[in-house]
Structure 1
Amino acid sequence: MKDEPLPSGSMTTPHRSEGDSSHVAILMATYQGADYLAAQLDSIEAQSLERWTLWVSDDGSQDGTREILAHYRQRWGEQRLKCFDGPREGFARNFMSLLCNGGIRADYYAFADQDDIWLPGKLEDAIECLARRDAETPALYCSRTRLVNQQGIETGISASLRRPPGFANALVQNIASGNTMVFNHCARQFAARHGARQDIPLHDWWIYLVVTGCGGFVYFSDQPGLFYRQHAGNAIGMRLGPGTLPRRLCRLWRGGHYLQIERNLKALSLLQSDLTVDSRQRFEAYLSSRRRHGFRRLASLHASGVYRQTLTGQLAMLIAAVFNKT
């Protein structure tokens, strides 16, 4: 099936006849995931909320991933698991191809990685929270995760938030892991409106930016919803502990984070008409700070009000700003 971008016109919720229950579209991007995929599919099948369809975009796997998907599709039925050929341009573009596919319609959407293990109540907990919000307001649910190694042995838990989520945070940091994300149809429409044509560095960061920038609601749960598997093949891993500041500074110095933010800002420029007044002002102030240099840039960055969640993260950002690296 060919991707069909959502229309850029009015924002509407999916039509449901009276008596229908809310449905979740689970969006999974796969590539060479045969080692762990079956365990993840089993955990999705075991969800306490049963009203879901799994949509998979595979980026050309040759390790048995497609055969595993075919087996589960035969077991679940063709209406429960639907597969596409991915764009083969990296994991973020693969996820975005699903997000922007107009043929996928649901009340709620959840990203799923190929190698995690969902806890049975993950979807139900998220939907119960999101359902309290007006369907015409973009809303996002995300949570902490339990970290496990390649063998599935638990090694820790991801960090909690120390400051509230918001657009000022989203401009410089993504606190919402995509594998925990569940969001409503309104959030999906805003995120997909220009997403198909943009160079989005991280699909989950984009959702966090759009929801907060467009006046939406973000709920971050301290209750983990899944086991997040850490292994050598992770596209993005989780780094925790007191030794993270040197690693953050090193990454900032290499410029990778700077370039990601540049790509985000370019994509956001097309969404300015959808941003709230406060978000537009914040966006312009942060853009202005990036045009300055040295300590003047540091002062301007502080005035823009952007922030990271932890003291080490904030310190790393400010140090990097002096050298025009963030």
Structure 2
Amino acid sequence: MTQTPPSASNPDVRTDDRREVQILMASYQGARYIQEQLNSIATQAYPHWRLFVSDDGSQDDTRRLIANFADTHGHRRIHLIDGPRQGATQNFLHLIRMAPRDRMLAFCDQDDVWHPEKIERAVSKLARISGPAHYAARTTITDENLEPVAQSRHFSRPLTFRNALVQACMAGNTSVFNPAAAALLKAGVEAASSADIQSHDWWAYQLTSGAGAKIIHDHHPVLLYRQHGMAEMGRNDTTSAMAKRLGQLFAGDFGKWVAANHTALNASRTLLTEDNRRILDLTIAALRCKGPVAAQRLYHLGLYRQTRAGTAALMAATATGRLRQPFSASRRSR
């Protein structure tokens, strides 16, 4: 079952129904866990949803399970499409590109289990906002058998563009976007895909905060976040996990991820507020400088991570040249 997703030109979709949440799930070899996630979507207290699954060429029973789910819950509500087969991030970007316009969007991982009120909480909080808004929440971290281990971190510092430029805090598996924020993602998705960004949820946090959207982080856990050997991302709340992530600041890959993000943001700079365009330009200019000068400039710009240790590690990595970008990698878009 491979379907063409509904679009603005498809009469099957009512363009005035902005209450509907489009759930975007990227799947690949997910047969072991995906049925539990599908079941949790089916039992959501909020009834106005559609599910779009982009499968990246699974060879196990993933597609069959999705097809069976569609047989049970309706092919007008469940849509299976072919993914680009370029990894999870590109698969999510593909889903953003293909999703209908003027709807709320929700990212969805194939191996979690949503609490019944997951969508309802997000919609309730987003409904209070008149402009673009991006919602995310805490999760209950579990082992592979869904036995609770801990709750994910609660962020105490403001969630702003100055934070988003250097840290991913809005978990993709909990993220929901109102129609205005979803329109921002659609407007920026081609630039993100071309820049080959590392993380769709980090980019989404950067773009929405940079565009002046309201950023909402719910302290209430909304899903079971399953940890297992095949998971794309692992937990980040333990001392060892946080130490590992801080260590990534000193690895060459982190600088490449930052450069790709800046390239994507630069190409979508008209979506950003005037002040945040200025912050982006100054950040790019700083990271073209030698390490100590770059660190000093980032410090004066007020870029920060959520902990003092994280911010100190960021500045130290910058001072040693780990985040330095060549001019060609971050040249301002014309």
Q: Give the structure-1-normalised TM-score.
A: 0.91
Amino acid at match of 1:65: T
| 3-state SS in 1 of match to 2:141 | strand
Amino acid at match of 2:123: I
**Deviation at 1:5?**
10
Amino acid at match of 1:113: D
**Deviation at 1:191?**
1.5
Q: Answer with 239-248 or 270-279: which moved more.
A: 239-248
Amino acid at match of 2:181: A
Task: Select the residue among 37, 47, 57 that pairs with 1:60.
Answer: 57
Instruction: Answer whether contact 1:59 1:85 (CA < 8 A) is retained.
Output: yes
Q: Answer with 109-118 or 300-309: which moved more.
A: 300-309
**Mapping of residues 77-116 of structure 1, within 5 Å:** 77-101=74-98, 104-116=100-112
Alignment partner of 1:37 is 2:12: no
| 3-state SS in 2 of match to 1:133 | coil
Alpha-carbon distance between aligned partners in 2 of 1:115 and 1:292, rounded to the nearest angstrom: 42
Task: Select the residue among 215, 220, 223 that pairs with 1:218.
Answer: 215
| 3-state SS in 1 of match to 2:249 | helix
Amino acid at match of 1:22: R
**Mapping of residues 81-230 of structure 1, within 5 Å:** 81-101=78-98, 104-134=100-130, 137-197=131-191, 198=194, 199-230=196-227
Amino acid at match of 2:182: R
**Deviation at 1:129?**
0.6
Instruction: Answer whether contact 1:57 1:94 (CA < 8 A) is retained.
Output: yes
Instruction: Answer whether contact 2:18 2:104 (CA < 8 A) is retained.
Output: no
* Aligned residue in 2 for 1:234: 231
Alpha-carbon distance between aligned partners in 2 of 1:77 and 1:147, rounded to the nearest angstrom: 31
**Deviation at 1:274?**
1.9
* Aligned residue in 2 for 1:271: 268
* Shift in CA distance, 4/53, structure 1 to aligned 2, threshold 3 Å: closer
Alpha-carbon distance between aligned partners in 2 of 1:78 and 1:311, rounded to the nearest angstrom: 50
**Deviation at 1:253?**
2.2
* Aligned residue in 1 for 2:15: 15
CA offset digits 1:122-149 (Å, max 9, x no partner)? 1000001101111xx2211001110001
* Shift in CA distance, 106/81, structure 1 to aligned 2, threshold 3 Å: farther
| 3-state SS in 2 of match to 1:228 | strand
| 3-state SS in 1 of match to 2:217 | strand
| 3-state SS in 1 of match to 2:239 | coil
Amino acid at match of 2:136: C
* Shift in CA distance, 55/153, structure 1 to aligned 2, threshold 3 Å: same
* Aligned residue in 1 for 2:332: none
CA offset digits 1:44-75 (Å, max 9, x no partner)? 11100011010000000011001100110101
Identity %, equivalent residues: 36
Alpha-carbon distance between aligned partners in 1 of 2:166 and 2:18, rounded to the nearest angstrom: 37
| 3-state SS in 2 of match to 1:74 | helix
* Alignment: residue pair count: 313
Alpha-carbon distance between aligned partners in 2 of 1:253 and 1:46, rounded to the nearest angstrom: 44
CA offset digits 1:276-295 (Å, max 9, x no partner)? 11101111111121011232
Instruction: Answer whether contact 1:173 1:308 (CA < 8 A) is retained.
Output: yes
Instruction: Answer whether contact 1:245 1:312 (CA < 8 A) is retained.
Output: no
Alpha-carbon distance between aligned partners in 2 of 1:216 and 1:97, rounded to the nearest angstrom: 22
| 3-state SS in 1 of match to 2:269 | helix
CA offset digits 1:170-195 (Å, max 9, x no partner)? 11111011000000121111112131
Q: Structure 1 segments of 4 or more deviating over 3 A? A: 1-6, 243-246
**Deviation at 1:207?**
1.2
**Deviation at 1:4?**
10
* Aligned residue in 2 for 1:9: none
* Shift in CA distance, 43/106, structure 1 to aligned 2, threshold 3 Å: farther
Instruction: Answer whether contact 2:55 2:81 (CA < 8 A) is retained.
Output: yes
Alpha-carbon distance between aligned partners in 1 of 2:60 and 2:22, rounded to the nearest angstrom: 26
Alpha-carbon distance between aligned partners in 1 of 2:25 and 2:241, rounded to the nearest angstrom: 29
* Shift in CA distance, 106/272, structure 1 to aligned 2, threshold 3 Å: closer
Alpha-carbon distance between aligned partners in 2 of 1:239 and 1:171, rounded to the nearest angstrom: 18
| 3-state SS in 1 of match to 2:225 | strand
Amino acid at match of 1:158: S
